[in-house]
Amino acid sequence: MQLKALLKYALVTTVLLSVISCKEDKPLKSEDKIVLSFKKEGVLTINKAVTDSIVKTLDIEIADNEYETQTGLMYRTKLEANRGMLFIFPDVQMRSFYMKNTKIPLDIIYIDKNKTIISFQKNAQPFDETALPSDAPAKYVLEINGGFSDEWQLEIGDHIDFDVLK
């Protein structure tokens, strides 16, 4: 009688284990679990140097502490056309960004302490860890969708202004 019960238990256990091991759910990768959404923290305008006319007005998210500047737009799956991320650094120095864990192509715009555009890294490719340096010391960096700096005809010498929401 005990042998029959033991065999029945073994059979049920074997069936359950085979059903569980055949489960085809795709395990989540750690980066799939991270969901970061845009948080409007300010408004930024880009102006032409020659005419001072407004080229574009953007809602911006601001990165001004170590965590935010290290994370940037990593893990985002999209960036709306009227949005960007402005990095505000406490000092002026040569800057370098890379695209680790960044899923969308970006234009990286380096800006000096006078809020003048000093260099670009255009169409930075997702997940590329190659260094993308500024051509001169920068205090600010603006990230926008890849290709927009050309579409908006931005040039070195154009300038920005921004207001931070309280």
Task: Tell me the pLDDT tens digit for each residue of 93-145.
Answer: 999 999 999 999 999 999 999 999 999 999 999 999 999 999 999 999 999 99
User: Encoding tokens for residue 7?
Assistant: 């065999």
Q: Which CATH number fits domain 27-164: 3.40.50.1000, 3.30.420.40, 3.90.550.10, 2.60.120.1140?
A: 2.60.120.1140
CB-based burial, 17-56: b 16+ in 10 Å, e otherwise: eeeeeeeeeeeeeeeeeeeeebeebbebebbbeeeeeeeb
The full set of domain ranges for the chain reads 27-164
**pLDDT higher than 80, residue 12:** no
* Gap between the Cα atoms of 104 and 21, Å rounded: 35
Per-residue model confidence (pLDDT) at position 155: 98
Contacts of 53 (CB under 8 A, 6+ apart): 47
Per-residue model confidence (pLDDT) at position 92: 98
pTM reported for the whole predicted model: 0.80
Per-residue model confidence (pLDDT) at position 20: 43
